[in-house]
Amino acid sequence: MDFTMVEIVLYGAEQLCPSCVNLPSSKETYEWLGAAIARKFPEQPFKMSYVDIYQPPEDNEKGEFAKRVIEEDMFYPVVVIKEKVVGEGNPRLKTIFAELEKYGYKAE
């Protein structure tokens, strides 16, 4: 199977979501997730992006999704791969890794 480099987008905010009080911040989750993916899939490139839901970029797609996170009261951070939500609030590595494997990433 061919390998497709994917972008993993984490939508979050400075403050914790009300239901996520004891969880790490969005930024901490972003850093932890990037490190975990790099360890699981060494030498397989991927792009990690962080989007602040209260200050989204001009990029329409990401800006629109950031609005959805707020409007739909999603638990953030929200992790998205190829427009699919693969984690909310406290994202599970197993779910994220399984999604990456669909694009040809191989665990080592």
Start-to-end CA distance of the chain, whole Å, equals: 16
Residue 77 reports pLDDT greater than 60: yes
pTM above 0.85, yes or no: yes
CATH superfamily of 7-101: Hypothetical protein sa0798. (3.40.30.30)
Cα separation, 77 vs 25, in Å, equals 8
* Secondary structure letter of residue 102 according to DSSP: T
pLDDT at 65 over 70: yes
pLDDT band, very low/low/confident/very high, at 2 (cuts 50, 70, 90): low
At 58, which amino acid appears?
A: E
pLDDT over 80 (residue 95): yes
- Average pLDDT, stretch 84-99? 95
Say if residue 59's pLDDT is above 80.
no
pLDDT at position 17, please?
65
Domain ranges of the chain: 7-101
